[in-house]
């Protein structure tokens, strides 16, 4: 189920407000990262999401999405997991 790929903190959100997320894709060689991210970036663009950008070293995409958009993207087979992108204190 695609909800299994989603950070539980995102699933608890209510309403349509967008939250910053990290969309992790399956690992690929660095030479294939751009191609790997292209499908997700195109999907987000078609969904009206602006400002999404890829992270080369992590093979991930940063975006601000609503809960429904997160679940839509999580259904893609190329998405490994989606995490809430929020600062965390490291001790």
Residue 21: φ, ψ to 5°: -135, 160
pTM of the model: 0.90
The pLDDT tens digits for 23-46 are 999 999 999 999 999 999 999 999
Question: What is the rounded CA–CA span in Å between residue 53 and residue 40?
Answer: 10
Give start and end residues of each alpha helix (H) in the chain. Answer: 8-11, 33-46, 67-74
Domain 2-84 has CATH 3.30.70.80: yes
The pLDDT tens digits for 51-87 are 999 998 899 999 999 999 999 999 999 999 999 998 7
């Amino acid at each position: 189920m695609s909800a299994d790929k989603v950070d539980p903190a995102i699933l608890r959100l209510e309403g349509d407000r967008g939250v910053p997320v990290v969309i992790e894709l399956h690992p690929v060689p660095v030479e294939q990262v751009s191609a790997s991210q292209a499908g997700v970036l195109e999907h987000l663009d078609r969904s009206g999401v602006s400002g999404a950008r890829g992270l080369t070293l992590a093979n991930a995409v940063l975006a601000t999405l609503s809960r429904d958009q997160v679940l839509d993207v999580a259904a893609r087979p190329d998405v490994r997991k989606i995490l809430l992108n929020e600062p965390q204190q490291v001790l």
